Amino acid sequence: MEKDQSVDTYAVRARLEAYRDKDKGLEHLEEQIAHIDARLEGLGAVNITDMPRTPSPAHDRMSDLINQKDELIAELKEDVEYLESERRYFNKIFRKMKSDHRSVLRFRYIQGLKWSDVAEAMYGARIDFNDKEESYRHRVLMMHEAALSSMASYISKS
Q: How far, in Å, CA of 102 to CA of 104, rounded?
A: 6
pLDDT band at 2 (very low <50, low <70, confident <90, very high): very low
pTM value is 0.77
Residue 1 has pLDDT above 50, yes or no: no
How is the chain split into domains, by residue range? 9-47+55-157
Is pLDDT above 80 for 114? yes
Residue scoring higher pLDDT (138 or 45): 138
Whether the Cβ atoms of residue 120 and residue 129 lie closer than 8 Å to each other: yes
Phi, psi of 114 (to 5 degrees): -75, 160
Distance from C-alpha of 57 to C-alpha of 138, rounded to nearest angstrom? 59
How far apart are the C-alpha atoms of 94 and 136, rounded to whole Å?
22
Q: What is the C-alpha to C-alpha distance for residues 70 and 92, in angstroms, rounded to an integer?
A: 33
Classify burial at 47, counting beta carbons within 10 Å of its beta carbon; exposed 0-12, middle 13-18, buried 19 or more: exposed
Cα–Cα distance measured from residue 121 to residue 139, given in angstroms and rounded to the nearest whole number: 13
Is residue 140 within 8 A of residue 118, CB to CB? The reply is: yes
- E-only strand ranges, 25-133: none
pLDDT in tens, 32-72: 999 988 888 877 655 555 555 555 555 678 888 889 989 99
At residue 44, the pLDDT reads 63
